Structure 1
Amino acid sequence: MNLQEQRQLIADNNAFKEQVLNNIDTGIVTYNLNLKITSWNAKAIDVLGLSPNQVDNLQDSSLLNELFLQYKVGSERKDDSTIPYIWEVNEGTQQKLISYRVVQMYDSQERQTGYLLSMNDETEKKKLERKLNSQEKMHALGQLVAGVAHEIRNPLTSIKTFIDLLPKKYDQPKFRASIIDHLPAEVGRLNKIVIDLLDYSRPRPPKKERYNSINELTSLLSFLQITIENKQIVLEQSVEGDLVFYIDPQQIRQVLLNLMLNAIDAVEKTEEKKITVKIEKEHANTGKITITDTGIGIRKEDINRIFEPFYTNKEKGIGLGLSVSYKLVKENNGDIQVDSHPSQGTKFTVLLPLFETEGEER
């Protein structure tokens, strides 16, 4: 290859590199070891918000100097260089968010030759994220309000009906007996809605302690034993005796009670009435509680909604039990999963942290 061909090859390579740099969607600025700017692309000028006549003064850009200063502060703290920094720029009444990284550049012999600064304007992306988050919150709030209104309206309608009939039928013994029978139940339903709603919206912080799985299961099942026997349900249980959880016992008891009551309801109208409860170790630091029933199951389109507030398929259900359970499990650093098919039953799996002998703080 003669000298002319070598020059042409170098020119072609430079043209190729320049086209690539000026057509990528990331701003690039390179520095030598003395922190003098050696090159930049068009996107960098755009991200920095500079006009064409300001390009020659790029070296004096206060924003670039500030970005590099923040990089030096982060490197001295030995921050992870793979995570972009975020820098907020206030331009009058406007705010700009720039994500950037600085990496060291080396030659073929692994000698450092300078630095490469890459940056992106995240302003519109962050605005869109905030807008979507706001819309999701408003949607969730709308669902919550609609659910509260729907659930409260039913008992209020019953109470109003009795009140409207009171002047005409008060002297009738059967009517008075009906009031005594129904009104307390409707008031109790209203009270339960309010209590469940408060549990959902403002759960108290968990008071974690070491807790033996056998004690919790024995206490819970003895509480439900009469109901299980009356409904002729077969109950099977399997427990690893040496498991000690690190949880809030009262909160997790509420979770298990909700799941057990759901399982009892699910098998009530099926030919095979069976509930299986297992408590075992999942991993070294995690215990697993599974409650499996042979009930009616859950439709595929409903699976992703069962933890939503006020979503229920029960005629008299409020739809907060699973929502509250989900929040309580998360508060206890756990997870709750569901596997179900129509007419084939349902399995709920609750994963919870085990007590560590090194210390209770997590």
Structure 2
Amino acid sequence: MSLFEELEQELDCLKSKNNLRRLPATHHRGREVEADGNVMLNLSSNDYLGLATDADLRAGFLQTFTPDSFLPSASSSRLLTGNFDIYTRLEERLAELFGRESALVFSSGYHMNAGILPAVSNVRTLILADKLVHASLIDGIRLSSAKCIRYRHNNYEQLEQLLSAHHAEYEKVIVVTESIFSMDGDEADLNRLVRLKRQYDRVLLYVDEAHAVGVRGEHGLGCAEEQGCIGEIDFLCGTFGKALASVGGYVVCSRTVHDYLVNKMRTLIFTTALPPVNLMWTYFIIERLAQFRDRRQHLQRLSFQLKEGLLAAGYECPSTSHIIPLTIGESGATVWKAEELQRKGFYALPVRPPTVPEGTSRIRFSLTAALTEDEISKLITTIGKR
């Protein structure tokens, strides 16, 4: 069998299990998406605060530009000529907002998670990672030379047992979690993790706030702000590409960690820097983040409304956030349900293996503050009883 025949066979296998993916052809119209001639309300975007579709916000940003300041490419890595002044301004502002010594910005959240852990670990490192951490974190763990044990999702009793049994065998232990989990929409108890960390020497805490920054906390800084433990997290990470409507990732950390990553993190060193125009937009949003409190509160109300509607309809719903899974189970039935919702005006997509385990295929609703309570009510009615 040739290589191409082997690949075709694997694609056919995916298709037979209703797990074959194709890039969707869509046209964006603000809060709506057009696909195959059908205009639908977008329920699959990570634009949690509705900032990416806010025309007034974009217009205000564009007024700050001149032809000289509009720079669409950095044309180099940060360690060569790509480290424009806006990088320094943004990182200093992030450190100030979070009350930490330093911050470091990356080209993407994937680069962030795939690069930090390999840089700061070695064969004498143990990584204890929540079973449901994002694929980018899993890839970072695989690229590292550390020993890794995955603990059951949010099972802190098992985590404590693992810490007790293994921490003395390693130079350092890194506990890795998300704050809001991307598929179930539930969240970690960060203060409990901080308490566990304090019980043992040489334990570090890595938290990815990708789905929490912007939507949680009084100033929109995430679950760590909401739970009052920003200063206790050694690697407090997040992304600009979701609620903040931009692109890139960041870590707030100590100055020592910052300097070490600049020298050792391959996904920072060996990639072209973000275009200055994107960094300027990020800075523009960051400066206004605290002002979006009403959007955060509205999003919280919508999330509660949809979750209660699903529970009343007989579905299980573990979510405590704006990410609301409608778990169907079998992939074919999930695809059919998503297509039904699309026919009725809701752009919701199926999530299937390998993103989620076999038998747990789901429709993942990503709610945004641009939605209304009436639209959520209509969605609940359209979903119907289990």
Give the alignment's TM-score, normalised by structure 2: 0.21
Which structure: greater helix fraction? Answer: 1
Give the alignment's TM-score, normalised by structure 1: 0.22
Which structure: greater strand fraction? Answer: 1
- Greater relative contact order, per chain length (Cα 8 Å cut-off, separation 6+): 2
